Amino acid sequence: MRETPPGADDPASPSQPISPRGPARSESAPPAGRVHRRALARAFAVLLGFTFAQIVIGALVRAHDAGLACPDWPRCFGVWVPEFDFEVAWEVGHRYYASGIALGFAVLAALAWRVSAAHRALRGLLLAGGVALLAQIVLGGLTVLLQLHVSTVTAHLLFGNAFAALLLLIALALREDAAPQVRPALPTGLRRAVWTACALLVLQVTLGGLVASSYAGMACPEWPTCNGGIWFPSWRGPVGLHLAHRSTAYLLLVVLATTVWSTRRHAGLFRPLRLALALTLVQVGIGIANVRLGVPAEITGLHSGVSALIVLVMATAAREAWLRPVGNDGVRPCVVVVGAGFGGLAVARGLRDTPVDVLVVDRENYHAFLPLLYQVATSGLSAQDISHPVRAILRKLPNARFRMADVRRVDLATRTLQTADGAAIRYDKLVLAAGSTTEFYGNTDAEARAFPLHHVEDAIALRNHILCCLERAAQTEDAGLREALLGFVVVGGGPTGVELAGMLGEMRRHVVPRDFPGLASAMRVVLVEGRNRLLGAFPESLTRRALEQVTELGVEVRFDALVESVDDAGVRLRGGEQLRAHTVAWAAGIRGAALAEQLGVPLGRGRRVPVLPTLQLGGHPDVFVIGDLALVQGNETLPQVAQPAIQQGRCVADNLARELAGRAPQPFRYRDPGAMATIGRNRAVAVVLGIPLAGRLAWWMWLVAHLVFLAGFRNRLVVFVNWVYHYVSYDLGLRSIIGRRQPRRRRDVADAARDAA
């Protein structure tokens, strides 16, 4: 990983693009031809699905000897529609299905020929597909007329797989033509390894066709030996053919495993080759079962289907190897991503196939799943359950590295980042995804005494404080002190505030009565909201349901209530009402991280950085700002949640790849998948694809969505087990007070700067 790219000391280098390939083309709207290519790519992909089904049907035809039951090709017994018979039906269906595929290919090929008349490679693929289809039709007729001759059956199988592979290559070529990609160079040795694996696969498919047509498996059933348990029987007829088929399969496994290991840093090749290796392992198991069970029709069809899948995956790998330039990658531009949150990791993942070096910088070495912080604060989960090491996430990205550092300053003129320890990090492209921090709206009392809930340390501090208050309330004889210790005020009626108040209500109902007998009736949870409704981003019908559900848990709700001050006695609302509480959780708002103030540009609402629709900083096209830190022109009202950050990260990665190809960046367009908020057991509200949901169904959808987006299999498993335990036992099992000697909340950069001044 380069942190100081070549040319960084050259004053002219900041104005240079990543990889100049001529002037960028303006693409405010995609040309009609590009839209046609994308539609045709999808059409060829559908035709490929039908062809794959045809290959499986063909295997069943061979297994049933249907061709011998219907020898009068193209009719059966001299009539076009014979009397229905199972074996004959397989054969007739196979023939008419093939006719439909041929007609569909002819129509699509004619359309693709017109759209891509200037592209020789695509026209060559179309011609090859037509030749393969014609040969397949002829071989099908000969196979029946010659009564399943070994040579015609094998050739029929080969051309069928070849036609399917060509359909896949045509679809990929059309999609590539509509959206070109840049690929890093591939060493010649790795390319040769891919070709070797492809050649072995062709040999294996050929031997498989010969084995299937001669039923060699029946002559050599004692897997993996033959004829009385010996390893090397006489090399004769079907037995030798079957042994060659087995040996080639094992050799293909070895070659694929070696190639997968060698291409682990070339993601575009590694992924299809890894899938091919897994499918080949499955295929070996299916082959063993096929022989041991006496070659039943169902296993034979499955065997051919998986074989076709391997061919398609290897065709993708071969195409990728062919398109990659030969040689070494050499010096590559460095993209520095500040922040390992949802947006920053989305950028790193999106650049995995792009010839750049990615450096992710964060002051913590973990990625925290912030939507579940409130469960850590209420003892439902541990801090480790919702955090995952960044290095473990980036391990699968061949061009990404991580550096733990606290970025304090950004020098846009010299393309340099200054860290807290005095180090400098140079960049070619910079992505600021530093996130946000808690906004107290100038209320210094609340900032000094209330508990924010925006970092893992905040959640741990709040959990320890809540448990300590319960412990002290169980010991004191002072009724006034007990009332204050058992008072919990949550400020903010957004998703975080509602979820935290709901969990405190669950604790009051299920946990406190068993752990602290006699305290549940005195425990008071108050939710304070400055507007006249909860969950302002949700439809009004759902906000009413949310209010009903949260009050069912015994939570008191105050609307149109603004916090005037927070002191040791509790919270004073504007208007004079005093809420006695030793615990005040602040979930009333967020603002951009302190790093935004170091950019030297005017900040917008919420101390966020105004950026262009392409997510670039105005006047600095080499700097992108995403996530909670960005105020996107034309999308100023985007919610500061995970989905916009993830989609912005993908947009930045795509725009960086487009720049490498000499193309203009595209503006960010947000696709709203919906919103969810949980309130307690079987209580939640959600908007999914514009459909409002509430209650148990919304709660289950919330559970599934959060498990899917949680980083790391271990975290998903542990969180799932904890949720099941909590659901069955009505208990929160993580109520140990650990780390209470730490400060109540983490001081951010802005606090330290104010103290230093």
Residues acting as catalytic residues: 499
Residue 243, token pair as written in the block: 């042994």
Alpha helices, DSSP H, located in 293-411: 297-323, 342-350, 373-377, 390-394
Q: What angle do CA 460, 462, 465 make, to 5 degrees?
A: 110
Residue 576, helix vs strand vs coil: coil
Contacting residues for 274 by C-beta, under 8 A, at least 6 apart: 260
Judge contact between 376 and 463, C-beta under 8 A.
yes
DSSP assignment of 58-76, as one string? Answer: HHHHHHHTHHHHS-STTSB
Q: Is the dihedral of CA 723, 729, 731, 733 positive or negative?
A: negative
* Closest among 385, 387, 424 to 403, alpha carbons compared: 424
Q: Which of 38, 179, 20, 29 is nearest to 654 (CA)?
A: 179
Radius of gyration of the chain (CA): 32
Of 699, 665, 663, which is closest to residue 680 (Cα–Cα)?
A: 699
- Do 362 and 390 contact (CB within 8 A), yes or no? yes
Q: CA 66, CA 57: separation in Å to the nearest integer?
A: 11
DSSP conformational letter for 711: S
Cβ atoms within 10 Å of 566's Cβ, excluding its own = 24
**Which two structure tokens, joined as six digits, stand for 715?**
């975290």
Find, among 116, 98, 300, the residue nearest to 217 by Cα.
300
Please report where in the chains the tokens 């599934």 appear, as a residue.
704
Instruction: Specify the DSSP element, H or E, that contains 685.
Output: strand 683-688
Please list, in sequence order, all residues whose beta carbon lies within 8 angstroms of the beta carbon of residue 343, skipping any fewer than 6 positions away.
433, 626, 627, 645, 646, 648, 649
380 is written with which tokens? Answer: 């439902």
